Amino acid sequence: MLELTGKVAFVAGAGSVGEGWGNGKATAVLMARQGARVYGVDVNLQALDDTGGVMRQEGLTNWTGRACDLTRSDEVKAAVEDCIQRYGRIDILVNNVGGSSPGDPVSMSEETWDAQMDLNLKTAFLGCKHVLPVMERQFAESGKGGAIVNVSSIGCMSFQVEGRVSAAYAASKAGILAFSRSTAIAYVKKGIRVNTVVPGAMHTPLVEHRLVKQLGAQDAQSLIAKRHGSVPMGRMGDAWDVANAVLFLASDEAGYITATQLVVDGGMTAARPGP
């Protein structure tokens, strides 16, 4: 089940912002465990080295890491070309890049708005822009195209996470949903599936690294307890919950699934009132 042997996975955002397991790091390691050759990219070379260290500790040799600013088309193109030179193909693309900046349209600067759009939405566009032709060519040659999984957030749905307003983050992550569906239909007859994973409140290093300061919490533990209490299941998820969802949608077992979204939130969106 969910076997990836013989497949090549290009994972964008394969590092983690701090110690522990971020979504991209867990996804890269999980796919390598399942037999894929994983080409991981991240803007932070040290974070990539940490992911590679885990691979080495587990005896996983099917890993290559490359520093890449995923908001720059030339760097993404070069990374995709290097992956092809090393492994000959790309069967799976995971676009897992993002971050939030608080603010409403008046309080937020134009520079912050543009940076959020680049980080959260343009990165997925560029990943698809440079990988889709590879997958399309593979389908023409062998009848096997590929699978793309983009990562959004419940922050783009009918409520603001933790009561804060993050207008650009919400808009850009909502854009991921529309972008994924549109791209899926554009390539559905070319052997390429495109789906979205939509995480809810997750306990990843981002909580301690960024959210404590952004939300003005007194300390990390009080924020973690509050976030646990906001989830109907009584706890936040973690990076492995996201990674397992990504793995499923990328696998052959999900071969009849495209243009859809898999919400991984412990019931948060169902429990909140709609607009």
Q: Residue 176: inside a domain, yes or no?
A: yes
pLDDT in tens, 121-180: 999 999 999 999 999 999 999 999 999 999 999 988 755 555 578 899 999 999 999 999
- Mean pLDDT value across residues 22-36: 97
DSSP string, 182-228: HHHHHTGGGTEEEEEEEE-SB-SHHIIIIIHHHTT-S-HHHHHHHHH
Q: Residue 212: inside a domain, yes or no?
A: no
Please say whether the beta carbons of 266 and 201 come within 8 A. yes
The reported pLDDT for the residue numbered 159 is 53
Q: Above 90 in pLDDT, residue 200?
A: no
**Residues 197, 203, 207, 208: is their CA dihedral positive or negative?**
negative
Q: What are phi and psi of 151, to 5 degrees?
A: -110, 120
Question: Is the pTM higher than 0.85?
Answer: yes
Q: Residue 210: inside a domain, yes or no?
A: no
pLDDT category, 221, cuts 50, 70, 90? confident
Q: Residue 53: inside a domain, yes or no?
A: yes
Residue 89: how many other CB atoms lie within 10 Å? 18
The reported pLDDT for the residue numbered 177 is 98
Residues assigned a catalytic role? 169
Alpha carbons 271 and 23: distance in angstroms, whole number: 24
Q: Residue 140: inside a domain, yes or no?
A: yes
Q: List the structure tokens of 63.
A: 């890993």
Q: Which of 108-117, 121-130, 212-221 has the lowest mean pLDDT?
A: 212-221
Q: Above 80 in pLDDT, residue 219?
A: no
Q: Residue 111: inside a domain, yes or no?
A: yes
Please say whether the beta carbons of 96 and 42 come within 8 A. no
Q: Above 80 in pLDDT, residue 214?
A: no
Q: What are phi and psi of 39, to 5 degrees?
A: -110, 105
Number of structural domains in the chain: 1
123 versus 238: the higher-pLDDT residue is 123
Residue 231: how many other CB atoms lie within 10 Å? 18
pLDDT in tens, 68-109: 999 999 999 999 999 999 999 999 999 999 998 989 999 999
Alpha carbons 20 and 223: distance in angstroms, whole number: 18
Q: List the structure tokens of 260.
A: 């859809």
Q: Residue 182: inside a domain, yes or no?
A: yes
CATH number at residue 145: 3.40.50.720
- Mean pLDDT value across residues 30-37: 98
Return the amino acid letter for 116: Q
The reported pLDDT for the residue numbered 233 is 78
Q: Which of 39-48, 174-183, 231-240 has the lowest mean pLDDT?
A: 231-240
The reported pLDDT for the residue numbered 212 is 43
pLDDT category, 218, cuts 50, 70, 90? low
**Beta-sheet pairing, 8-12 with 37-42:** parallel
pLDDT in tens, 239-271: 999 999 999 999 999 999 999 999 998 888 888
Q: Rounded mean pLDDT of the chain?
A: 90
**Residues 186, 179, 117, 107: is their CA dihedral positive or negative?**
positive
**Structural domain of residue 20, as residue ranges?**
8-202+239-263
Q: Above 60 in pLDDT, residue 185?
A: yes
Q: Residue 230: inside a domain, yes or no?
A: no
pLDDT category, 59, cuts 50, 70, 90? very high
